[in-house]
Structure formats: structure tokens, C-alpha cells
Amino acid sequence: MRQARITGVGHAVPERVVTNDDLAKLMDTSDEWITERSGVKERHHVSNDEETGASDLGVQAAEIAMEMAGVSPRDIDLIVFATISSDYFLPGSAVMVQEKMGMRHVGAFDVRAACSGFVYGLSIADQFIRTGMHDNILLVGAEIQSVALKFTTEHRNLAVLFGDGAGAVILQPSHDDSGVLSTHLHSEGSHLKDLWLPAPGSKYRPFNSKELIDKDLHVPHMNGREVFKNAVIRFPEVIQEALDYNGLTLNDVALIIPHQANYRISQAVAKRLGVGMDKMYSNIHKYGNTTAASIPIAMSEAYAEGKISPGDIVILAAFGSGFTWASAAIRW
């Protein structure tokens, strides 16, 4: 049976670097607190004087991924764009990639599964390749979250964690046993208010009320403890699910690329699984949590650093708002 193989990967982040000390000038926090609780040392944010949207970063990442795969924009036959920070409320960012890159009039849509968005998108792309419907899929994970954050002491638990960035992959049919072996997707909507951004949305009327702004409904909110508690259960669970489904053990795995939520979460997950941190890729110290972009950015860097070689088993695992969680097993 056909399965999807990642033939190109790339990433892009805005130039502006914001350190923990920079944030400490805006709110009551410190480099020590942020480093100890999250592992984040710095993140990239778009500049306030430029109009960069999620699609712009996505295009930069896509250009690198396409060059590696040896495909041109005209070859792409489906665009899947994972984001919770699309350029506009309507339409999604995928169509902007189609237009900016001069692609054919192919299918293009966004996936809004938050931090699990990239793995959800990978699962969708894999199905299209397995059925034979598409052969050259561009999957992007891109976020510009800094513009929605409030850099105040009241919102500091969230403001210090998140960053902007994009990663992209090209998926094509595999001609051997390499490729996406499995994907597993999950959700538990009862936790939606533990990490959410209430407005604008169809629930809040009038849509542009002053109350909406006054109550900070347009700013993300997080119950950090609840997120942490669930993440350290769901990550190992969904990684184990991927292993069991494929008859693999952790000894077979070269690298786990978890969504970069928080270094402490990754440490707790590694401990529960009984693996060393050398098997758990981390670059959160440089980028913070970039939501749907974090896994493809990490994959791009891990590949560039020579940490993934042909034949390696790589496990992707994600957890985030919803709650949603997901994993993918890949033979590189």
C-alpha cells in the first residue's frame, strides 16, 4: 500500500529575538523563573512595524522544503495549512500560500487543531496519498501568536511561553518501506477552557463589543496546571499507542519529536517513558512554544543537525488546546 514520505522540510522564524530579560522589562517576571518553569530562553516575534502574517512565514518555510524535495510550486497538488493564527479570520492562510507561490488552483485549506495541528495535518495528507488522490502535498505549520499576547503581569503565565515561526514539509508517495507508518488523533473538548482564546467567535455578540476587549476575551487564557497535568499523561499514552500499533519498542526509535510545549513537560514525558532526554528533541530554549509550527521547526533542525537518517524510526507527538493530542510514527 502507498504511504506518504517526507521528502522536504524547512523552517523560518521572524528576525526579531525577544529574550526573557526583554520580557522582564514589560512585566513582573525573570529569566530565572521562565527558564526554570519552561526551558524557554528566547523566542522570535514579528516586529510591530511590519505586516508579516502566518502565510508569509509559511511561504518562507515552504520554499526551503520544496527545494529539498526538488519540486516546484506548480507540482504541488494540495496545500494543508495548520494554524490557529491565520492571516485573516476569513479565509484561511492556505489560499494565500497558493496565491503567493503561484501554485495551480489546487485544494487549499486550514487545520485548526492548535498544538496538534501539524500532526493532524500530516494524518490528513497521508490519507490523501494513501488513497492515490494526491502526489505532492505541501503541509505547513505556521503561527504568529505574539500579536495576540498581552505582555502584562496579569497575562504573564502565557505571554512568556509562546513564539512565532513556521515549518513546512513536502509529502510524496513512498517507493519503499519508508514513510508515515501510522497516525493517531484524539480530543477531549471538556477541557476547551483550559487553553482558549474566546473571541472573536460566533459565540460572542456583538462581535466587536467594547466588553469583549475590556474583558480580554481576545487574549488567550490558560489554566497552566491543568494543561501540564494532562500533557504529561497524554504524551506518553499517544507515543505508546504509536509504538504498539506498529509492533515497535522505544529501543527501535531513533528520535521522539514532541510538540515544544514546555521543557519540563518533555522531561516528565521522558521520565514516564523511561528514555533519556537525548532521545527527546528539544529546541524550545530558542523559539518558545510555536503551536502548530513547533514540530516541523524541530524536525527541520533535527534533520539539519544530522539527528535523523534514512531508515530511522521517528515518533512525532503533540498535545494542546482542545484538548487535542496526536502521534505519528515515521520511518525516515
* Residue 287 one-letter amino acid: Y
Of the ranges 3-11, 31-39, 140-148, 305-313, which one interacts with ligand COA (CB under 6 A)?
31-39
Is residue 205 a contact residue for ligand COA (CB under 6 A)?
Answer: no
Is residue 29 a contact residue for ligand COA (CB under 6 A)?
Answer: yes
**Counting runs of H as helices and runs of E as strands, what totals does the chain give?**
11, 13
Catalytic pick among 20, 230, 262, 289: 289
Catalytic pick among 115, 184, 262, 283: 115
What character string, x for contact with ligand COA (CB under 6 A) and - otherwise, covers 157-176? x--xx---------------
Distance CA 215, CA 198 (A): 10
What character string, x for contact with ligand COA (CB under 6 A) and - otherwise, covers 33-62? xx--xx------------------------
* Residue 10 one-letter amino acid: G
Catalytic pick among 184, 230, 259, 262: 259
Cell numbers at 321, concatenated = 488546546
* Residue 139 one-letter amino acid: L
Size of the site for ligand COA (CB under 6 A): 19
The alpha carbon of residue 91 and the mean position of all alpha carbons in its chain are separated, in whole angstroms, by: 20
Q: How far is the CB of 289 from ligand COA (least distance, A)?
A: 5
Judged by CB under 6 A, the chain residues 104 through 163 that form the site for ligand COA are 115, 156-157, 160-161
Catalytic-residue membership of 175: no
Catalytic-residue membership of 208: no
Is residue 233 a contact residue for ligand COA (CB under 6 A)?
Answer: no
- Could you tell me how many residues make up the chain? 332
Q: How far is the CB of 301 from ligand COA (least distance, A)?
A: 19
- Residue 271's CB is within 10 A of a number of other CB atoms, namely 13
Catalytic-residue membership of 115: yes
Q: How far is the CB of 228 from ligand COA (least distance, A)?
A: 4
HSE-CB at 14 with a 13 A cutoff on CA atoms is 28
What is the phi/psi pair of residue 13, to 5°? -135, 155
Is the distance from CB of 283 to CB of 43 less than 8 angstroms?
A: no
Q: Which is nearer to ligand COA, 29 or 182 (CB)?
A: 29
Q: How far is the CB of 38 from ligand COA (least distance, A)?
A: 5
Cell numbers at 175, concatenated = 517507493
Burial 35-73 (b: 16+ CB within 10 A, else e): eebbbbbbbbbbeeeeebbbbbbbbbbbebbbebbebeb
Using CB atoms, what's the residue nearest to ligand COA? 224
The alpha carbon of residue 213 and the mean position of all alpha carbons in its chain are separated, in whole angstroms, by: 27
Q: How far is the CB of 192 from ligand COA (least distance, A)?
A: 13
Interface positions with ligand COA (CB under 6 A): 29, 33-34, 37-38, 115, 156-157, 160-161, 224-225, 227-228, 261-262, 265, 289, 320
Catalytic residues: 115, 259, 289
